[in-house]
Amino acid sequence: MGSNQVQQLSSEEVPTGDSTFVNDVTVASDGTAYLTNSYFPVMYRYSGGDSLETWLELDSTVIDYGASFNLNGIAITPDDRYLLSVQSNTGNLYRIDVSDKSVTQVTVSGYELTAGDGIELDGNLLFVVRNMNAEVVTIEMNDDYTSGAVVQVTGGAFRFPTTIAATSDSLLVVNAQLDQQGPGGSPVLPFTISKFAR
């Protein structure tokens, strides 16, 4: 059996203490990675080498950071033009223009997105995991990703789901059971991944 070696690409200091939680990542077609920080109002970019940069300071945008989790899941559009990110504590969805860093709140009709966690963009369909609600919300986005309408809500046997990924015909959702962590928690073992058709 062969073995793979893991190489550390970057080691960076970010704000410490309760004010920081580097959370999710999406990768553009050229390998550039964009990351959210759920407690501190910045977005990071990694574009190679040994440096993770503070790419966008969110205090100067329409995104208002408050208590608890803020920006969480993130996805990049197929043309690498926009980033989409959901704000867990408000349920707001945002579009960030990669070229000029302008931020637009996306209008979503038909459902709440509070507790939004991991997201997956497949063409014009955006899938948003709502962790505490144990469901996945499917949103049909318009061509420029400024608005969308909820077309389906999938619930069932999820256990505090967090992140999501798409295969050619299915969606995979991690049942993280974060509500069962710590003293007194009682997670159902083994931990599982749910699969359902999209």
What are the structure tokens assigned to 144, written together?
């420029």
15 pLDDT exceeds 90?
no
Residue 133 to residues 36, 180, 185: CA-CA distances in angstroms?
22, 15, 18
4 pLDDT exceeds 70?
yes
Predicted local confidence at residue 50, as pLDDT: 75
In terms of pLDDT, which residue wins out, 177 or 67?
A: 177
Instruction: Provide mean pLDDT across the span 42-60.
Output: 90
Instruction: Provide mean pLDDT across the span 92-120.
Output: 97
- Report which residue type is found at 112: E
In terms of pLDDT, which residue wins out, 164 or 17?
A: 164
- The domains located in the chain, with CATH, are 18-197 (2.130.10.10)
What are the structure tokens assigned to 7, written together?
């190489």
Instruction: Provide mean pLDDT across the span 171-180.
Output: 96
Instruction: Provide mean pLDDT across the span 22-47.
Output: 96
**Residue matched to tokens 């059971």:** 177
Instruction: Provide mean pLDDT across the span 113-119.
Output: 98
Predicted local confidence at residue 139, as pLDDT: 97
Of 4-8, 82-86, 159-163, 184-188, where does mean pLDDT reach its minimum?
4-8
Predicted local confidence at residue 19, as pLDDT: 81
Instruction: Provide mean pLDDT across the span 153-180.
Output: 95
Q: Give residue 9's pLDDT band: very low, low, confident or very high (50, 70, 90).
A: low
Q: State the chain's mean pLDDT as an integer.
A: 93
Predicted local confidence at residue 157, as pLDDT: 86
Distance of alpha carbon 87 from alpha carbon 159, whole angstroms? 21
- Sheet order of strands, 192-197 included: 161-166, 170-175, 192-197
Distance of alpha carbon 45 from alpha carbon 94, whole angstroms? 17
Predicted local confidence at residue 27, as pLDDT: 97
Q: Give residue 89's pLDDT band: very low, low, confident or very high (50, 70, 90).
A: very high
**Residue matched to tokens 């083994």:** 190
